[in-house]
Structure 1
Amino acid sequence: MSLEAQLRAQIVARCRELDARGLNRGASGNVSARVGEVMLITPSAVPYAELAPGMIAAMPLADADGAWAGPLAPSSEWRFHRDLLRARPDIGAVVHTHAAFSTILAIARKPIPAIHYMIAAFGGMEIPCCDYACYGTPELSAAILRALGGMNGCLMANHGMLTVGPDLPRATWLAFELEALAHQYWHVLQIGGGHVLSEAEIATVAKGFASYGVKATD
């Protein structure tokens, strides 16, 4: 099986996992992965339960106009996926969801501070929230790139969240971790707030996180 065929199957499997664990519903959210100079991305308006590998759209990363190949049009959010993969060679996959607690905080436009050491997996002291822009637009793509910087996840104002990783297993794992942090932070806010870890405390954790979490073969 070719690498592209493997990635197509992996995208379908991860999408169904996101559904099964409640991070997406119906046709919400989208997932992409890099294969050479091409981006594979979930199609528009197809529920994950009905998704098949052959439905995944292929888009040349170098194309400026959103050219694609496949039986179905790519997700309407293809632009920020493409722009993230272009801007950061370290990114091999992007996961975007409308997970409940992440979306609640995104609606409130509340970044998630270092309330738990797992934030170290994202490469910073907080999960930022990007500015609002309409879905699918260049403005949203630019807002995400600004907010994300070199980190591995962010909230999207009045929209949802996204995570990135060197491969799809890692990006998906980070999506689950981000929603867990959002769940914890929302509940902490209900009791008046909590203690935020210091930069030194997060730096200590970060040293051990280079090899923490799922691997590409998981």
Structure 2
Amino acid sequence: MARHDAFRVRQSIVEAARSLDALGLTQGTSGNIALRWEDGLLITPSGLPYARMSPDDIVFMRLDGSFEHPLKPSSEWRFHRDILARRPEVNAVVHAHPVYCTAFAMCRREIPAVHYMIAAAGGPTVRCAPYATFGTEELSAHALAALEDRTCCLLANHGMIATGPDLEKALWLAVELETLCRQYAVALQVGTPVVLPDDEIARNVEKFRSYGLKAQD
């Protein structure tokens, strides 16, 4: 049964990785996904096109960074590992380079509370972490700081991170963040977006504890 469960979980990661393009979250082989598993994590491998990826290609990594697999884990394994180690309520991490999220990240701009859906991020802003070279401890540290009291963030000149208690909710949040960034970009062209006050976002954050994507039985 344990082997069957492991295959099913690995398959869910493959399916989620393949859905990134269809969801408008990434292009080509960019982006990566990690899921908490036993005493470590399961993570997509480095440099393997999603169309060719199989459940056996998903890499199991221990929290000390060691692994035993013919393929290397994603080059971004550090922040995946560190987020899962630091945030016990998080079980899934999605990293991608969607167009609108990345455009704001290129401008190093945080997303303000221009729509109540920002409550899904856990607070009145989506922060943009400072730039650091991909795959480094420095980038991981910046990501952890930007995610403090938040469920998602932007990475300067890079992309975005979305987290969740499970993979389905992390993917849902990634789509919501890209939608919010797209709406904000259009609103900036129309005029001056009005930012909602912090107390209104706090009310919505509380409402979001019982709102959003529901777990499937």
TM-score category (smaller protein)? over 0.9
Count of aligned pairs: 215
**Bigger Cα displacement from structure 2, 27-36 vs 204-213:** 204-213
Aligned to 1:53: 55
Change (3 A) 1:190 1:22: same
Aligned to 2:162: 163
Q: Report if the CA contact (8 A) 2:123-2:205 is conserved.
A: no
Deviation at 1:191, TM superposition (A): 2.4
Aligned to 1:20: 22
Q: Does structure 1 residue 83 correspond to structure 2 residue 82? A: yes
Structure 1 residue matching 2:101: 3-state secondary structure: helix
For residues 109-167 of structure 1, the C-alpha deviation after alignment (integer angstroms, 9 at most, x for no partner) is 11000111111111100100000000000000001111111210000000000001111
Deviation at 1:207, TM superposition (A): 2.3
User: When the two structures are superposed, what TM-score results if normalisation uses the length of structure 2?
Assistant: 0.95
Q: Does structure 1 residue 7 correspond to structure 2 residue 9? A: yes
Deviation at 1:217, TM superposition (A): 2.7
Aligned to 2:190: 191
Deviation at 1:19, TM superposition (A): 1.4
Structure 2 residue matching 1:127: 3-state secondary structure: coil
How far apart, in 2, do the equivalents of 1:211 and 1:35 lie?
26
How far apart, in 1, do the equivalents of 2:73 and 2:43 lie?
6
Q: Does structure 1 residue 35 correspond to structure 2 residue 37? A: yes
How far apart, in 1, do the equivalents of 2:213 and 2:6 lie?
21
**Bigger Cα displacement from structure 2, 119-128 vs 184-193:** 184-193
Deviation at 1:103, TM superposition (A): 0.1
Residue type matched to 1:124 in 2? G
**Bigger Cα displacement from structure 2, 29-38 vs 99-108:** 29-38
Structure 1 residue matching 2:210: 3-state secondary structure: coil
For residues 40-90 of structure 1, the C-alpha deviation after alignment (integer angstroms, 9 at most, x for no partner) is 0000011212211110000011x1xx2112231100000000011111111
Give runs of aligned pairs for residues 134-213 of structure 1, distance below 5 A.
Answer: 134-213=133-212
**Bigger Cα displacement from structure 2, 194-203 vs 31-40:** 194-203
Aligned to 1:72: 71
**Percent sequence identity over aligned pairs:** 52
Residue type matched to 1:172 in 2? L
For residues 17-37 of structure 1, the C-alpha deviation after alignment (integer angstroms, 9 at most, x for no partner) is 111122111110100000121
Q: Which 4+ residue blocks in structure 1 deviate beyond 3 angstroms?
A: none
Change (3 A) 1:216 1:32: farther
How far apart, in 1, do the equivalents of 2:215 and 2:13 lie?
13
- Structure 2 stretches lacking a partner, 5+ long: none
Structure 2 residue matching 1:31: 3-state secondary structure: strand
Q: What root-mean-square deviation, in Å, do the aligned CA atoms of Structure 1 and Structure 2 show?
A: 1.3
